Every structure is written in structure tokens, then in C-alpha cells.
């Protein structure tokens, strides 16, 4: 690896690259990084770069909580080891290259708080059982002129939603996105002006889960750089205005065995079990896939944000939106979209718990109820109860209760990481308890 890193560093230096940004996401979904001079990339690949253990207990506001007993001291160091095979030169920041990292203990041994390693273990466990997951993200974000304190007072575009007219004033930015995503090795499926306030959406093509999580981190770096270069700033926050539709980072997955997509057609027993496993653990999943205080504010009825626990075929109010294949699209197209997912989720943990919940459904041969084509938010409480449809967690406290009640999800995280994750969520909740929704939205607007 040292030889490969040194060779890559030599080529990058010759091309004018001065440094490598080593990136990861913390337990709030916030990207963190270290930059090393390009000449030091080989050494970083061998020995890693030092960082405090306390990044595992940073909350969303950069407060360090010592409530997790195993990380209750300012002493301690870890090493950040770049994944050289994922090294990319940043088209929008040509003096920098980019690579995700694994977090290891100071002696090089595994560190239980490394989110990327959690996902790698889940992928390996699935492969041992003959399963392969493919995953891709839809990223929604809002844009505003650089220096704007918010989105509502100076939206980057004024619609109409889904209209080409909305993007005319953003033409140079859109061109930069198309160019930079391709140059950074991030093939796009599509890009458009979305429904929300100054909102855009782009879709990344599906790949293996670890690469999908890496791509999500690289995608937001690419967007931020392109926005800055064109006098804009991008907000990935779950809520950008209390009255507006929020930003989801919808997670599409499909499950494969021996080259066959198990979600194609009317899902067979294994495909149905995968969906049923996700449905069973939806409340606990949202504690990981939409974990911030603003996340629960986004999950409101009638906002295509998935307030109730059910599944449906192409139902945009469903938290589990099954997307079928067709003769035109082919069997590879079939997937399930998890809608209660946003930028405050660590992408590695989000994919790890989704994979675990789905595979548990297969292992236990869970049966899938009938899909729902309506919006249960318009139903009476009695009708929802008769259909077995319940509200997803509406507060961080409800999310935490759902999380600790699911041995499948807590088992993925492990005792150490679960403790740190819950401590961070509690720190966020205490911060928010003394603030109204406007203050909460403003504080998260530019964090991700």
C-alpha cells in the first residue's frame, strides 16, 4: 500500500496537486478531515495521521460530550489511514486530492468507533451468506448566494419546481456539477430543480455499499466546491425553513444473489423478507438514518417525507418506496427507496443498519403485508390501527427508545459505538431543549 500511495503521490504532485484531504464522517453525518502534503501521502498510508479519540463524541455543534464512559477523558489518540484505492483528485479544488479513511487504534488494531469498518463487516457477513447489496443516494440540497444567512430571504433559484427555467440562472453552477462529478469518478443518474425552497436534487448511480458511502461524502465535497466557485453556498440540512419541504438524502438499495436482483418482479420469498425486515425495524432505522433534531421536524405528514411506517409501490409518502422493474427498464432497476434518510446520518452506519435489518428479515422468513397506495396521514386513527400503520418516531427521545429496543440495530453498532452515538444524540437534545425551531434550523443550516 505504501508503494501504491507513493506512486500515486508522485503522479499527483507532477499534476500540480499539493495536498491530500483525508475525510470521514462523524456520528452526526458531518464531514471531518485532515490535509497532508502530497509528499506525505505514502507515510500516511503506512502509519496514519493522528486524531483525537473524541471525534466519536463530537455533537452537531462541535461540543464534546464526556457522557460516554469509555471516552470520558481528553487523553487518547487514533490514526486515520487513507484508503488509497479510493484516492481522487478534486476537479473543483485542483490543488487537492481526496480519500476516505479508516480509523484505527494508535497501535494499528481495529477501533470499535470506526463507522466505515462497521459497514465493511456487514458487507463481508452478507457476502458469506451469498448476498450482495447495491446502493445509491439521491441528494437533495438548497442553494443561496454566498454570504446569505439563510435560504428563505435569498433563494438561489425561485422555481418553478422541476422547471428548466429555474436552472437558467444557475447555468454555470450546473455545468460545473456535471463536469466535476464526472471528473471525480461520480457518475450521475440525473439532476433537476426539486420541489422545495431553492432546492435541487441529483442522483448517484448505484454501486457497492462501501463505495456508495464514500461517494456520498465525495459528492457533498464536490457540490460545496462548485457552489463556492460560482458565488453560492449549498445547504444539505434536513430542514432549511420550518414551513418548507426539507432535504432528504434518500437511500436506494437492491439485494442480489448469484447475479439476480431479488427485488425484481413481485419479490420472491427472500426479496419480500428483505423488505419486511426493513419495515419491522423502520423506527430504529430512522434513529440512525435521520438522527438529528431537525430530522424529526422534517418527517411530517403530507410533505413526501414519510411520517408513518408502511411500504408502497411508487408511493412517495411511503418510507419504504418500492421501485419495480419493467420490460423497458430491466430487472436491475428494481430497488427500495428509504425516504427517512438525510445528511445528518453517517452514510456508513446508515447502510450498515439497513443491510442488517433487511438480512434479518430474510433469515427469519418475515412476511410482507400488502402495499399501501394511499397516504395514511389522511386516514383516521382507527383505519391506521386496523392496517397496522403507526407513526414513526416524532422526537429524538422516541428515536432513542426505538433504537435500544432493536437488538438487530444495536448489534450492528456494538456496545462502544452505540454508547458514543447515544451520548452525542443526548447532547444534541439538551442543546435544542432551550431553543425554538427557528434557532434549531438556523444552527444546522450549513453544518453538513
| Beta pairing, strands 311-313 & 320-323 | parallel
What mean pLDDT, rounded, does the chain reach?
96
Distance CA 204, CA 215 (A): 8
What domains, with CATH codes, occur in the chain?
Answer: 2-111 (3.10.20.70), 122-444 (3.30.590.10)
CB burial of residue 391 (10 Å; 0-12, 13-18, 19+)? middle
Q: What is the pLDDT of residue 267?
A: 81
Q: Which region holds residue 162: left if phi is over 0, alpha if psi is between -120 and 50, else beta? A: left
Residue 405 has pLDDT above 70, yes or no: yes
Strand partners, 33: 23
Q: Reduced to 3 states, what is the DSSP secondary structure of residue 174?
A: helix
**DSSP secondary structure letter of residue 11:** H
Is 83 in contact with 108 (CB distance < 8 Å)?
no
Q: Which of 280, 309, 311, 304 is nearest to 394 (CA)?
A: 309
pLDDT digits (tens, 9 = 90+) for 239-270: 999 989 999 999 999 999 999 999 998 788 89
Q: Which cell goes with 441?
A: 434550523
Q: What is the pLDDT of residue 14?
A: 96
Per cent of the chain over pLDDT 90 is: 96
- Centre a 10 Å sphere on the Cβ of residue 105 and count the other Cβ atoms it contains: 17
Residue 1 has pLDDT above 70, yes or no: no
pLDDT digits (tens, 9 = 90+) for 9-47: 999 999 999 999 999 999 999 999 999 999 999 999 999
**What number is the average pLDDT over the span 423-429?**
98
Is 222 in contact with 188 (CB distance < 8 Å)?
no
Is 277 in contact with 311 (CB distance < 8 Å)?
no
Q: Rg for the chain (alpha carbons), in Å?
A: 21
pLDDT digits (tens, 9 = 90+) for 277-291: 999 999 999 999 999
Residue 439 has pLDDT above 90, yes or no: yes
Q: What is the pLDDT of residue 417?
A: 98
Quickly list H helices, 206-346: 209-229, 269-280, 282-289, 293-298
**DSSP secondary structure letter of residue 266:** S
Q: Which of 146, 163, 255 is nearest to 209 (CA)?
A: 255
- Centre a 10 Å sphere on the Cβ of residue 442 and count the other Cβ atoms it contains: 15
Q: Which cell goes with 357?
A: 435489518
Q: How confident is the model at residue 302 (pLDDT cuts 50, 70, 90)?
A: confident
Amino acid at each position: 500500500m505504501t508503494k501504491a500511495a507513493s506512486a500515486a503521490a508522485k503522479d499527483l504532485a507532477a499534476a500540480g496537486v499539493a495536498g491530500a484531504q483525508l475525510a470521514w464522517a462523524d456520528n452526526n453525518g458531518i464531514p471531518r478531515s485532515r490535509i497532508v502534503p502530497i509528499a506525505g501521502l505514502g507515510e500516511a498510508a503506512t502509519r496514519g495521521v493522528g486524531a483525537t479519540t473524541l471525534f466519536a463524541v463530537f455533537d452537531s455543534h462541535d461540543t464534546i460530550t464526556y457522557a460516554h464512559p469509555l471516552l470520558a477523558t481528553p487523553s487518547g489518540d487514533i490514526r486515520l489511514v487513507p484508503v488509497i484505492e479510493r484516492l481522487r483528485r478534486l476537479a473543483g479544488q485542483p490543488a487537492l486530492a481526496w480519500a476516505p479513511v479508516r480509523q484505527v487504534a494508535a497501535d494499528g488494531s481495529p477501533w470499535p468507533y470506526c463507522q466505515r469498518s462497521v459497514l465493511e463487516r456487514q458487507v463481508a457477513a452478507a457476502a458469506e451468506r451469498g448476498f450482495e447489496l447495491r446502493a445509491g443516494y439521491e441528494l437533495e440540497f438548497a442553494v443561496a448566494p454566498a454570504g446569505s444567512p439563510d435560504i428563505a430571504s435569498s433563494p438561489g433559484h425561485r422555481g418553478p419546481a422541476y422547471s428548466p427555467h429555474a436552472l437558467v440562472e444557475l447555468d454555470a453552477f450546473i455545468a460545473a456539477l456535471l463536469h466535476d462529478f464526472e471528473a471525480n469518478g461520480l457518475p450521475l443518474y440525473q439532476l433537476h430543480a426539486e420541489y422545495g425552497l431553492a432546492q435541487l436534487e441529483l442522483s448517484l448511480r448505484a454501486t457497492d455499499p462501501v463505495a456508495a458511502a464514500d461517494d456520498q461524502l465525495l459528492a457533498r465535497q464536490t457540490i460545496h466546491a462548485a457552489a463556492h466557485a460560482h458565488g453560492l453556498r449549498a445547504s444539505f440540512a434536513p430542514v432549511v425553513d420550518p414551513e418548507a419541504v426539507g432535504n432528504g438524502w434518500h437511500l436506494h438499495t437492491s439485494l442480489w444473489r448469484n447475479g439476480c436482483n431479488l427485488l425484481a418482479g413481485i419479490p420472491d420469498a427472500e426479496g419480500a423478507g428483505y423488505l419486511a425486515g426493513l419495515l419491522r425495524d423502520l423506527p430504529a432505522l430512522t434513529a440512525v438514518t435521520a438522527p438529528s433534531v431537525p430530522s424529526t421536524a422534517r418527517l411530517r405528514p403530507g410533505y413526501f417525507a414519510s411520517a408513518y411506517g408502511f411500504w408502497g409501490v411508487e408511493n412517495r409518502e411511503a418510507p419504504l418506496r418500492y421501485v419495480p422493474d419493467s420490460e423497458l427498464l430491466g430487472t436491475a432497476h428494481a430497488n427500495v427507496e428509504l425516504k427517512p434518510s438525510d445528511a445528518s446520518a453517517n452514510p456508513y452506519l446508515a447502510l450498515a443498519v439497513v443491510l442488517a435489518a433487511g438480512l434479518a428479515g430474510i433469515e427469519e422468513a418475515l412476511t410482507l403485508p400488502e402495499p399501501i397506495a394511499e397516504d395514511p396521514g389522511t386516514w383516521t386513527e382507527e383505519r391506521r390501527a386496523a392496517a397496522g400503520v403507526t407513526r414513526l418516531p416524532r422526537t429524538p427521545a422516541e428515536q432513542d427508545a426505538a433504537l435500544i429496543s432493536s437488538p438487530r440495530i444495536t448489534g450492528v453498532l456494538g456496545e462502544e459505538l452505540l454508547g458514543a452515538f447515544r451520548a452525542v444524540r443526548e447532547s444534541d437534545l439538551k442543546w435544542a431543549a432551550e431553543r425554538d425551531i427557528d434557532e434549531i434550523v438556523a444552527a444546522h443550516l450549513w453544518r453538513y
